[in-house]
Chain A
Amino acid sequence: AQTVTQSQPEMSVQEAETVTLSCTYDTSENNYYLFWYKQPPSRQMILVIRQEAYKQQNATENRFSVNFQKAAKSFSLKISDSQLGDTAMYFCAFMKPANTGNQFYFGTGTSLTVIP
């Protein structure tokens, strides 16, 4: 069974600083997708960044980047130049595509607070 683990329930960072959120996953699959989602207090989930497992290059979206270590099954999110609007719950997610139907797994989340 696939599992996604986020070992940091809460984190805080000073505005303009950099913070890294950790995520590890367990799978025997070779083809899969990884995601980081942000859920602000207003609760609508927003995609932050995605990574295809077959791509070696780490995904980057503006201030957000990932460190994807496939062998170690690690997928951390780095937020640079943190802004107050980055305060939210962050979820790491894993998707396993399959002919029998896709499966999605989310971690328990990391609550990030950006301090002015």
Chain B
Amino acid sequence: ETGVTQSPTHLIKTRGQQVTLRCSSQSGHNTVSWYQQALGQGPQFIFQYYREEENGRGNFPPRFSGLQFPNYSSELNVNALELDDSALYLCASSLAPTGAQGTQYFGPGTRLTVL
């Protein structure tokens, strides 16, 4: 069974640019959630996708957007990058959005640095 994978591992961008981060969910998982983890902080929930539809969103501006594809892999897009967007971005997948099957399995993360 393949776990959650994310690409790229590291990324450096400049302020104002756009970035796309990718996540492949664990086999059989139809739900993907994205988190932002600043250095020394706990993860902050960005949004969740279930069967290609957004299924919950945290307190992030619209320049944070996402997609989920028919194979349940997912992308996180961030436009107009700001310095404060520098963080570790975590993806987590689960068998279902909630309930006993809602247990999330995390990927290793993408470290984004905005200069």
Contact = CB atoms under 8 A, between A and B. Distances in A.
Contact of B90 (A45, A102, A103, A107): A45
Contacts of B104: 47
Contacts of A104: 33, 35, 45, 48, 56, 58
Contacts of A45: 43, 90, 92, 106
B95 to A, nearest CB: 13
Contacts, number: 64
Chain B interface extent, by class: 20 to 34
Contact of A46 (B44, B48, B54, B106): B106
Interface of A: 4, 33, 37, 42-47, 50, 52, 91, 93, 95, 97-98, 100-109
13 contacts: A4-B42, A43-B109, A44-B106, A44-B107, A45-B90, A47-B103, A47-B104, A97-B99, A101-B54, A104-B56, A106-B35, A106-B44, A109-B41
Interface of B: 33, 35, 41-45, 48, 54-58, 88, 90, 92, 97-100, 102-109
